[in-house]
A and B are shown apart, each in its own frame.
Chain A
């Protein structure tokens, strides 16, 4: 073990592990967005802003009302799930028969609304939970418990979604609807209801991500901008609607960001990720897992 660690730079290894931990969170975000896209054929540009609202929810529940973190988390998840369903019901549903680009732009409008709502309601101060989880030291490397917890919870969240999608009737319908929308009624499926459920599940995933992100980052009205774009890149690279592709791409991007951040600021990690993305478009235009023709 000692000699192994001597060969590899200890910081490099730490960055790699942190990359994996970050990957879990990004994969969770990508899963939510992919789910919505795969089922409803709509991209929620405001997805990261839903996460932001969830983070504020956690902040107020924990800091203001003094509820314990683990009790607050389900409430925040439910809140964002309702928000997701509302978003679908109020904005997406009336536009479903219109040109797809209008749905995209409408969610862009919602992004504006959520950001400015947060600015108006909560101000532009950076806020955090005030919870500082201890740091785990392992073989001269340091990992924060917050990240480990986030990684574990993200994985559990994804497993729950997987089980829901494969074991339940509703989950099977969600997978089926992406393959043949028109005949769903012949199966006795009310597509409107499935859309609403999917939106709520997508919202719940954003809520879960919010609970985990708020442990590591301060919340402010524009926090969504720091992980929204990267989530979109992950989804495009993995292939929109492709769950496995999104999962793999999330970890690839997380490693790039984490390793890039090792040499300079985190922002440069994002820039590196974007450059990587452009290169990948030439190499694998159909997405990471697409078969070459």
Chain B
């Protein structure tokens, strides 16, 4: 019954491309587009996360991607086709600026998580502080184009957005696949096992970590820009800050951090859950969805540290889900 992956991929992709031409319910398409964009963002996070680089700064990169693109469009009239590369450049520079000292001086684990956590907090602060330009916590809307939709990267047709999001999502998976098959993966795995040993074996630890960080940051910024272009509204809380960073980690943990499709599974589950909770509780019960989110995250980490997809795959392979590590003598 199980199809060989060789055929599963092209068939799956073909079905996904065909979908909007057959099925056109705008609400469902909207949810699908959001799932694809966030899947891409979560996949970007896992690029680092799978190698033990737990960044809580990705909310910052996403915010830079979204806001820089929108600001350039509104204030300078720069098309997102130019604005997005500039935004990516900004996010990449920010990633380098923060990550370089971290890696150069061996800031890892808790320290790295905290530094990046502060980064996403600071990006949020900057967006709020520059409220004269960004609208602060009230949010920001790119101006509707009066000219070409293609130049402005603004489309009213959901099908177009669906195809864009699908292409970007597939590109994300392709990058994952390429890294998976490259030497960089072995280098990063060695580093996450033991930095000193990796360095002794000739791995340029700082460079390898920086490379994966910059790739991850660029992808995340792109996700932010796309989200902005699609939703035509951004606010500091939805694209930046600690909450967004944690949301990424949460989704990836739920889906599975070490599997290519894990982040996607995480995005599907979390977005559907959020949507379900939003409808279930209605607009008067703001916050309940996040409450359930948080509780689930904690439960997941305690009981299913490998995520849903990871645990299912492990079970199929016959590996126990929770391996107990024998305590070694001191």
Residues of A within 8 A of B (CB): 37, 43, 45, 91, 94-95, 97-102, 104-106, 108-120, 124, 182-183, 221, 225, 228-230, 232-233, 235-236, 240, 264-265, 267-268, 270-271, 274, 277-278, 281-282, 285-286
Q: Mark B104-136, 1 if CB is under 8 A from A, else 0.
A: 111101110111011101101110110000000
B295 smallest CB distance to A (angstroms): 6
Cβ-based interface call for B286 (8 A) = yes
Option from A98, A101, A113, A235 in Cβ contact (under 8 Å) with B109:
A101
User: Which A residue's beta carbon lies closest to that of B54?
Assistant: A101
Query: When A101-B109, A271-B126 are in contact, do A108 and B56 touch as well, CB less than 8 Å?
Result: yes
Interface of A, secondary structure class, is: helix
A268 smallest CB distance to B (angstroms): 6
Chain A contacts for B268, CB-based, 8 A: none
How far is it, in angstroms, between the C-alpha of A231 and the C-alpha of B294 when the chains are bound?
A: 22
Chain A contacts for B301, CB-based, 8 A: 95, 102, 105-106, 109
Option from B109, B242, B288 in Cβ contact (under 8 Å) with A225:
B242
Query: When A113-B295, A285-B101 are in contact, do A105 and B253 touch as well, CB less than 8 Å?
Result: yes
Cβ-based interface call for B1 (8 A) = no
Q: How many residues of chain B are within 8 Å of chain A by beta carbon? A: 52
User: Which A residue's beta carbon lies closest to that of B106?
Assistant: A285
Q: Which of B22-30, B145-153, B243-251 contacts A (4 or more CB under 8 A)?
A: B243-251
Cβ-based interface call for B325 (8 A) = yes
Q: Judge whether A110 and B242 touch: CB under 8 Å.
A: no
Q: Judge whether B294 and A225 touch: CB under 8 Å.
A: no
Within B258-294, which residues are at the interface with A (CB < 8 Å)? 285-291, 293-294
Option from B97, B102, B294 in Cβ contact (under 8 Å) with A112:
B294
Query: When A111-B246, A278-B97 are in contact, do A182 and B330 touch as well, CB less than 8 Å?
Result: yes
User: Which A residue's beta carbon lies closest to that of B252?
Assistant: A105
Q: A267-B125, A277-B115 are in contact. List 14 more A-B contacts (CB 8 A).
A: A43-B113, A95-B301, A100-B110, A102-B301, A108-B249, A109-B301, A112-B297, A236-B114, A240-B111, A270-B121, A274-B118, A274-B119, A278-B98, A285-B104
Chain B contacts for A98, CB-based, 8 A: 305
Q: Judge whether A274 and B122 touch: CB under 8 Å.
A: yes
Chain A contacts for B128, CB-based, 8 A: 267
Option from A43, A91, A268, A286 in Cβ contact (under 8 Å) with B110:
A43
How far is it, in angstroms, between the C-alpha of A117 and the C-alpha of B298 when the chains are bound?
A: 15
How far is it, in angstroms, between the C-alpha of A277 and the C-alpha of B242 when the chains are bound?
A: 18
Q: Judge whether B52 and A101 touch: CB under 8 Å.
A: yes
Query: When A105-B253, A229-B117, A267-B125 are in contact, do A281 and B101 touch as well, CB less than 8 Å?
Result: yes
How far is it, in angstroms, between the C-alpha of A175 and the C-alpha of B329 when the chains are bound?
A: 23
